[in-house]
Structure 1
Amino acid sequence: MSSQVLGALPVSESRETPRGWLVVLSAMIGVAVGLSPIPFYTIGMFAPELSRAFGWSFAAMMGSIGVQSGVVMVSGPLAGFAVDRWGARPVALVSLFLFALCFMSLSLSNGSLLLYYGQWAVMSVLGAGTLSATWTRVVNGWFDRNRGLALGIASTGTGLTGLLVKPLTAWLISDYGWRTAFVVIGLLPIVIGLPVVLSLFRENRKAVPMADSAEATAEYGLTLRQALHSPRFWLLAAAFFLISFALTAPTPNMENILKSFKFELAEIGRVTASFGLAVIAGRIIGGWLLDRFWAPACAFAILLVPAAGCWLLSGESLTHQGAFAAVICIGFGAGFEFDLLAYLISRYFGQRNYGVIYGTFYTVIAFGGGLGPVVYGYAFDTMGNYGAALLLGIGCVIVGGALLLALGRYPEWDQD
């Protein structure tokens, strides 16, 4: 299938320079201190402290993740529109600063659960500019031949958060209390993120002749309206709803899944520590493979890895080695998911309205990802185990991967 867009450059024309790898580094750090990983990886450590302080149930505090997912379904596309309209760099700078203030404001919690949810809602609106659409749009503009690898490295920021911010949060809570921990973790986007983005994060202005926007970059591709009329858009949406449901659901339930197999708390900690490394491996290895093979076929093969991990957890017994293998397999697949989405959007829909198109797909991911943990939790409450839910997840990830195979060949964006 061939598509032509006025003023576009062929996607095959290489734009890669050494400067682009500094942009990848800055995007990686921006991802690491943004809205997606910091609340997700720290809520599990803050929850027991808030429960002791205010008597909130664990389920009520996990509801904050549901609030974030629901709000991001609206704020994600709006942030993508802002990136397309005003450029990724200014949106990233403003959103990092506002997200940091919102996260620090959680230290002022006074026992009102409604106010706590409201803080999460505001944080999810103002921090939406730190989501993947902002960073991946700019990385796409610097790379073609090594685009998958560049996206993979940039996205390892979430894995770094899991490896570094989680233990930092635990230490801060233990030695200084949860209020201080909220403030210190909230300062990271300002102290680390803002200087790096200011100095290194730049759009590739040499990719094409400049458009009206000072931050405009490669303008080949479809508008959002054109994308919405494409069968590929809805095929990709269905696939990623199933994939996000299957890959997100086990993560917040992992400790309880292992606990259901009679693992001790210390052993659970050792096993789940491998998740962050597996996410990083999934991003880098998956991105490298995307550059060398047709992405849908590559995705289908890689998604069989987390399916195998879920199968290991769905049995009636689980060895220590099996638990390690399952966590690594699921982490590898979870790491690959967002790289894959960014890569497929850039290849099948182009860069013209990349931000808002990615933001729209993020709505699908937020819905599937928010629904998955709830379904898994309900399955455990009603049946006392996760076996049926994990088998459902296996079916979803395999069907989602198979749907990608129907996307067909990449469009050829020809210069008119």
Structure 2
Amino acid sequence: MQTASGVNEFSRGWRILLASLLGIGCGLAAIPFYTAGVFAPHLAREFGWSMGEIMAGLTLTTVMVIFAAPAAGVLCDKFGTRIVALISLACFGLAYLSLATLGNSLTQFYLTWAVMATLGAGTLPITFTRTVNRWFDKHRGLALGFAMTGTGLFGVLCKPFLAWVIADYGWRAGYFSLGLLPLCLAIPAALVLFREPSQATTETLSETAVQEPLPGMTKAQALRHWRFWLIAAVLVPISFALAGAVPNLEPILLDRGIDSATILTLTPLVGLSSIGGRLIGGWLLDRFWAPAVAFVLLGMPAISCMILAGGQLDPDMARVAIVLIGFALGIEYDVVAYLTSRYFGMRSYAAIYSVFYVCFSTGAGFGPLVFGLIRDFTQDFAPALQISAAILPLCSAGFLFLGKYPVLSERYRNPSFN
């Protein structure tokens, strides 16, 4: 990894961060999950589809990502992140544009989601964090946090933007406008700003050395290492517990006696606090042992779950609960990206991180469904929230067993645009 002062890292790498923020915010990690609910009532009214049929598109996306994300990771390690990001952003944008032509066919709807998830997997944080990790070392945590704020910023801005577009021009224009975001914002930024760092200083390394692989484990080596399986094992239940509550937040708050008008002022706190989680959490990762940071920040939402599992709830306590959950959601992918780079190195970073991403996506994909089923069966979200309150601190404590960072050779320094 390159070494540099924090000022030099950011003065050289700010372009990478800006391109990554736009790429992640306009990609598969943000757009579908923040906007599906906005389109659902319009699709139901237009085509007579049920909410379950419409939201199954998101479930299909989760399933496809399980297969597509590792493939995207392998491609990034083999061909570099820039070309993967550019092609994937183009395919993702075109897939969203095609939704503007949607007819009364669930098959077409689902096929579009499947293609979007498969070809758009290169827009996931797997791609962009690989390059961010290579440009930053001393302030890697903060850099990752800044790059990942794209999801939170999009979450805050997309709904009022879509509400305006759909109100004036209809839901088809909404899909069309979302398709333009990766094509008109993220792709130009990637073309102009997004680069791999130089792999060696010409003063110290020969041409042969430049061609050597990056330091760290291969994917096969990582798969044989106990640390890999420990991280993978704790990510699924943690993501289940964190993600299960957020899509169900409105009905949870309604069950706790909070009125709809107040709920509208509370739910945006998830996106805002997630931005804070990314930046503050990233700052903490640079200064303290990452497993301890992960234990504290990912375990704290257990408090939120216990608050939400109680009886009548006042708005102030609801704010505390929502902020803690949002803060943890803001740090989760950053922590995993940071741990991957520190414990396994950069040689097969994207391939390794993609497996962890699948673990997190699996838990997050099924969490909301299980929460809803428990609510249907018990007429209360409390059992699901109480289970989550137990899961979060217990599984987050698993990170504490990772031990100290291994020593990785520092071969690649002083990144520059080529």
Name the TM-score, length of structure 1 as normaliser: 0.93
- Counterparts in 2 of 1:391 and 1:295: CA distance versus 1, 3 Å: same
- Counterparts in 2 of 1:360 and 1:413: CA distance versus 1, 3 Å: same
Unaligned runs of 5+ in 1: 1-8
Shift of 1:263: 2.8
Once residues 227 and 201 of structure 1 are traced to their aligned partners in structure 2, the CA distance between those partners, rounded to angstroms, is: 28
Once residues 38 and 237 of structure 2 are traced to their aligned partners in structure 1, the CA distance between those partners, rounded to angstroms, is: 29
- Name the amino acid aligned to 1:313: L
Q: How many residues align?
A: 406
Q: Of 302, 305, 309, which residue of structure 2 is paired with 1:314?
A: 309
Q: Does 1:46 align with 2:48?
A: no
Shift of 1:356: 0.8
Contact 2:274 2:329 in 1 (8 A): yes
Once residues 167 and 84 of structure 1 are traced to their aligned partners in structure 2, the CA distance between those partners, rounded to angstroms, is: 37
- Counterparts in 2 of 1:211 and 1:34: CA distance versus 1, 3 Å: farther
- Aligned match of 2:415: none
Q: Does 1:407 align with 2:402?
A: yes
Once residues 213 and 97 of structure 2 are traced to their aligned partners in structure 1, the CA distance between those partners, rounded to angstroms, is: 37
Q: Of 251, 259, 277, which residue of structure 1 is paired with 2:254?
A: 259
Shift of 1:210: 9.1
Once residues 415 and 19 of structure 1 are traced to their aligned partners in structure 2, the CA distance between those partners, rounded to angstroms, is: 18
Shift of 1:266: 2.4
Contact 1:282 1:335 in 2 (8 A): yes
- Aligned match of 1:377: 372
Q: Provide the aligned C-alpha RMSD in A.
A: 2.0
Once residues 49 and 85 of structure 2 are traced to their aligned partners in structure 1, the CA distance between those partners, rounded to angstroms, is: 34
- Aligned match of 1:162: 155
- Counterparts in 2 of 1:316 and 1:207: CA distance versus 1, 3 Å: farther
Shift of 1:152: 0.4
| CA deviation profile, 1:64-87 (whole Å, cap 9, x unmatched) | 111111000000000011111111
Shift of 1:320: 0.9
Report 1:384-395 matches (<5 A). Answer: 384-395=379-390
Contact 1:345 1:354 in 2 (8 A): yes
Q: Does 1:74 align with 2:67?
A: yes
Report 1:117-128 matches (<5 A). Answer: 117-128=110-121
Report 1:73-152 matches (<5 A). Answer: 73-152=66-145
Once residues 32 and 66 of structure 1 are traced to their aligned partners in structure 2, the CA distance between those partners, rounded to angstroms, is: 20
- Counterparts in 2 of 1:17 and 1:162: CA distance versus 1, 3 Å: closer
Q: Of 19, 27, 31, which residue of structure 1 is paired with 2:20?
A: 27
Q: Of 335, 355, 362, which residue of structure 2 is paired with 1:360?
A: 355
Secondary structure of 1:23 counterpart: helix
- Name the amino acid aligned to 2:318: A
Contact 1:218 1:351 in 2 (8 A): no
Report 1:226-237 matches (<5 A). Answer: 226-237=221-232
Q: Does 1:398 align with 2:393?
A: yes
Q: Of 153, 161, 170, which residue of structure 1 is paired with 2:146?
A: 153
Contact 2:248 2:368 in 1 (8 A): yes
- Name the amino acid aligned to 2:296: A
Contact 2:245 2:368 in 1 (8 A): yes
- Name the amino acid aligned to 2:225: S
Larger mean Cα displacement after TM superposition, 281-290 or 258-267: 258-267
Once residues 324 and 331 of structure 1 are traced to their aligned partners in structure 2, the CA distance between those partners, rounded to angstroms, is: 10
Unaligned runs of 5+ in 2: 412-418
Once residues 44 and 218 of structure 1 are traced to their aligned partners in structure 2, the CA distance between those partners, rounded to angstroms, is: 44
Shift of 1:157: 0.3
- Counterparts in 2 of 1:261 and 1:210: CA distance versus 1, 3 Å: farther
- Counterparts in 2 of 1:405 and 1:12: CA distance versus 1, 3 Å: farther
- Name the amino acid aligned to 1:20: G
Larger mean Cα displacement after TM superposition, 328-337 or 163-172: 163-172
Runs of 4+ in 1 over 6 A off after TM superposition: 11-15
Shift of 1:304: 2.9
Q: Percent identity?
A: 46
Contact 2:238 2:392 in 1 (8 A): yes
Larger mean Cα displacement after TM superposition, 144-153 or 23-32: 23-32
Shift of 1:107: 1.7
Shift of 1:35: 0.7
Name the TM-score, length of structure 2 as normaliser: 0.93
